[in-house]
């Protein structure tokens, strides 16, 4: 700083040395600052000011950095010896740090804040956000789901991911009728409108539900289970569960909020980095949705007298030929349109097999 800060003047030993700027020129005036009664006195060779303490804007305490005090008329006092300033302002000027500053300057409280923050983030990620998404989705009209699903189906057909089905009309009707019979046994008013579509797929045995009510069943899945209507009812019941809970829309809302939050947090470090929590969150939400849909699947199978054990068998069946295909689709995943509700991308198969086996035992 200036010479004034390093060697206290014998005339005014009180206070602290600093630079005074009048706000009109860039000239630094070496001064000493002290408190006299309820006034702040700034004194130097060519400066002499006395301001009421209430009109002064004090700097906050930090470990590093210049202390800058603002006066009402735009003038300011800068002190680079932050330690001397802090000692003086606490002991002589009677300044108390604000609550926030005290928390910021104590590692103990910072650690507590960090833990509270992490706990809060975990709770909102696991419970609050899904809960909020449910509420938000309830406000969104069903026509929005329909528009979303229609454009998704259109892009799937146009991208060549799906081709028209090779199943015979009789085969299609058999599946549709078996499913309709089971659905009719569910309590009325609790069944979403659906529209069953058949497609030949390039991504292997699969079934998925699109927002708005379209359920797509691939020929490959039909062939893997040899058209077993019990299994197909279970699979379609699972997809109907996705529709009933509007999982497609909820995922959109949850992922949207997650990505906005991650963007606000880490976006200015790297957009790529901020996408990592979004991807992880999507995977975790998708698992939760799968479980909800499995519960619905069991409900439908029970209503129509099918043992949930058939689904456990289905998983074993679909896993054997699909292993290679799954690895391939995992490797090329970024280029595929995201289908968070696609059946083949379900993680934790073992857990789901166990769920259906347990359900069968209760049955």
Partner 1 sequence: VISSRRRPDIGLTAMRAAAAAGDNRASKNRGAPADGAKGEIMEIDTQPMWPAEAPHGTTAARERPLAVRFTGSGSEYFRIWIVNLLLSIVTLSLYRPWAKVRRLRYFYANTLVDGHAFDFHGNPWKMLRGYLLVGAMLVCYSVAGRFSAMAALVALLILAVLWPALLRASMQFRLANTSWRGLRFRFNGTLGGAYRGMLPLFVPALAMGAMRFELVDPQHPTMTYIKHIYAIMGLTLLVAPLMWWMFKRYQHDNYGLGQWQTKLGVGPGSAYWLALRILGVALGSIIVVAVIVGIGGAVMGGAAMMSGVGVNKVVTFVLIAVLVLIGYMLVLMVPVPYAMSRAQNLVWGHTSCDEVRFDSQLRFDAMFKLTLKNWLLMLVTLGLYYPFAVVSFYRLRVESITPHLSGNLDQLQAQGAGIGDASGDAAGDLFGIDIGL
Judged by CB under 8 A, which stretch of 216-224, 269-277, 290-298, 305-313 contacts partner 1?
A: 269-277
Give me the least distance between CB of 162 and partner 1, in Å please. Answer: 16
98 binds partner 1 per the rule CB under 8 A = no
Q: Pick from 47, 53, 56, 68: which binds partner 1 (CB under 8 A)?
A: 68
Give me the least distance between CB of 92 and partner 1, in Å please. Answer: 21
Backbone φ/ψ region at 194: left (φ over 0), alpha (ψ -120 to 50), beta: beta
Judged by CB under 8 A, which stretch of 8-16, 58-66, 86-94, 188-196 contacts partner 1?
A: 58-66
Specify whether the CB–CB gap between 319 and 349 falls below 8 A: yes
Site for partner 1 in 20-49 (CB under 8 A): 21-28
Alpha-carbon span 42 to 31, nearest angstrom: 6
Question: Cα 179–299–180 angle (5° rounding)?
Answer: 15
Give me the least distance between CB of 232 and partner 1, in Å please. Answer: 31
Alpha-carbon span 224 to 65, nearest angstrom: 69
DSSP, res 335: G
Judged by CB under 8 A, which stretch of 73-81, 174-182, 283-291, 347-355 contacts partner 1?
A: 73-81
Tokens at 208, concatenated: 């998925």
Alpha-carbon span 158 to 202, nearest angstrom: 13
Specify whether the CB–CB gap between 275 and 354 falls below 8 A: no
Compute CA distances 5 → 30, 40, 41, 282, whole Å. Answer: 8, 18, 16, 57
Specify whether the CB–CB gap between 88 and 15 falls below 8 A: yes
114 binds partner 1 per the rule CB under 8 A = yes
Instruction: Give, for 130, the enclosing helix (H) or strand (E).
Output: helix 129-139
Total Cβ atoms within 10 A of residue 236: 26
Tokens at 183, concatenated: 């659905």
The smaller minimum CB distance to partner 1, of residues 145 and 239, is found at 145
58 binds partner 1 per the rule CB under 8 A = no
The smaller minimum CB distance to partner 1, of residues 43 and 249, is found at 249
Q: Pick from 81, 197, 228, 357: which binds partner 1 (CB under 8 A)?
A: 81
Alpha-carbon span 279 to 286, nearest angstrom: 10
The smaller minimum CB distance to partner 1, of residues 36 and 138, is found at 138
Instruction: Say whether 102 sits in a helix, a strand or coil.
Output: helix
Contact code string over 275-304 relative to partner 1, x by CB under 8 A = --x---------------------------
Specify whether the CB–CB gap between 130 and 291 falls below 8 A: no
Q: Pick from 107, 168, 335, 350: which binds partner 1 (CB under 8 A)?
A: 107
Tokens at 137, concatenated: 């989705």
Judged by CB under 8 A, which stretch of 179-187, 201-209, 267-275, 350-358 contacts partner 1?
A: 267-275
Tokens at 204, concatenated: 């292997």
Judged by CB under 8 A, which stretch of 39-47, 268-276, 298-306, 335-343 contacts partner 1?
A: 268-276
The smaller minimum CB distance to partner 1, of residues 133 and 217, is found at 133
110 binds partner 1 per the rule CB under 8 A = yes
Give me the residues that bind partner 1 (CB under 8 A), please.
Answer: 1-3, 19, 21-28, 59-60, 62-68, 70, 74-76, 78, 80-81, 100, 103-105, 107, 110, 113-114, 116-117, 120-121, 140, 144, 154, 158, 265-270, 272-273, 277, 327, 331
């Amino acid at each position: 700083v200036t010479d004034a800060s390093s060697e206290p003047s014998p005339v005014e030993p009180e206070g602290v040395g600093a630079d005074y700027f009048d706000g009109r020129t860039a000239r630094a005036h070496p001064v000493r600052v002290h408190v006299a009664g309820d006034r702040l006195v700034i004194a130097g060779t060519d400066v002499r000011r006395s301001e009421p303490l209430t009109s002064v804007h004090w700097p906050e305490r930090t470990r590093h950095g210049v202390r800058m005090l603002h006066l009402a008329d735009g003038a300011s006092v800068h002190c680079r010896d932050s330690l001397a300033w802090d000692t003086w302002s606490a002991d002589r000027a009677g300044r108390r740090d604000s609550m926030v500053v005290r928390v910021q300057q104590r590692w103990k409280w910072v650690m507590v804040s960090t833990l509270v923050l992490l706990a809060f983030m975990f709770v909102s990620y696991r419970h609050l956000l899904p809960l909020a998404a449910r509420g938000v989705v309830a406000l969104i009209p069903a026509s929005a789901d329909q528009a979303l699903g229609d454009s998704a189906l259109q892009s799937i057909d146009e991208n060549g991911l799906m081709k028209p089905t090779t199943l015979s009309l009789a085969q299609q009707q058999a599946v549709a009728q078996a499913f309709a019979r089971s659905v009719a046994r569910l309590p009325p008013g609790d069944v979403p409108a659906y529209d069953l579509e058949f497609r030949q797929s390039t991504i292997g045995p699969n079934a998925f539900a699109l927002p708005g009510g379209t359920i797509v069943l691939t020929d490959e899945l039909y062939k893997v289970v040899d058209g077993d209507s019990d299994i197909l009812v279970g699979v379609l019941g699972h997809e109907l569960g996705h529709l009933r809970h509007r999982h497609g829309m909820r995922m959109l809302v949850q992922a949207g909020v997650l990505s906005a939050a991650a963007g606000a947090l880490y976006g200015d470090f790297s957009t790529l980095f901020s996408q990592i929590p979004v991807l992880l969150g999507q995977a975790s939400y998708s698992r939760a949705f799968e479980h909800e849909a499995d519960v619905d699947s069991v409900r439908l199978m029970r209503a129509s007298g099918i043992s949930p054990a058939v689904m456990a068998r289905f998983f074993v069946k679909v896993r054997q030929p699909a292993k290679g295909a799954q690895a391939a689709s995992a490797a090329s995943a970024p280029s595929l349109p995201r289908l968070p509700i696609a059946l083949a991308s379900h993680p934790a198969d073992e857990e789901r097999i166990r769920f259906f086996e347990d359900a069968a035992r209760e049955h």
